[in-house]
Every structure is written in C-alpha cells, then in structure tokens.
Amino acid sequence: MSDSTTFIVKYDISGNLSVDSYLPHNMRQL
C-alpha cells in the first residue's frame, strides 16, 4: 500500500487536482 501514498505525493507535486491523485495509478499511466 506504500506505493499508493507515493504516487499521490508525486501527483500533488505535479500540481494535479486531489481527485486525480485518488485515481488508480494504472489509469494515470494510460
């Protein structure tokens, strides 16, 4: 589950919306 927190932090730094951070990492990759 650690990966979940990691990718959320990365998206937060990127400036993406919090909602996007909650989406699965796979969806963001597509």
Q: What's the rounded Cα separation, in Å, for the pair 23 and 26?
A: 8
29: number of Cβ within 10 Å: 7
pLDDT band, very low/low/confident/very high, at 7 (cuts 50, 70, 90): low
Mean pLDDT throughout 5-11? 61
Residue with tokens 């400036």: 15
pTM: 0.17
The domain total for the chain is: 1
Domain region containing 11: 1-30
Question: What is residue 11's three-state secondary structure?
Answer: helix
Q: What's the pLDDT score for residue 29? A: 53
Does residue 10 have a pLDDT over 60? Answer: yes
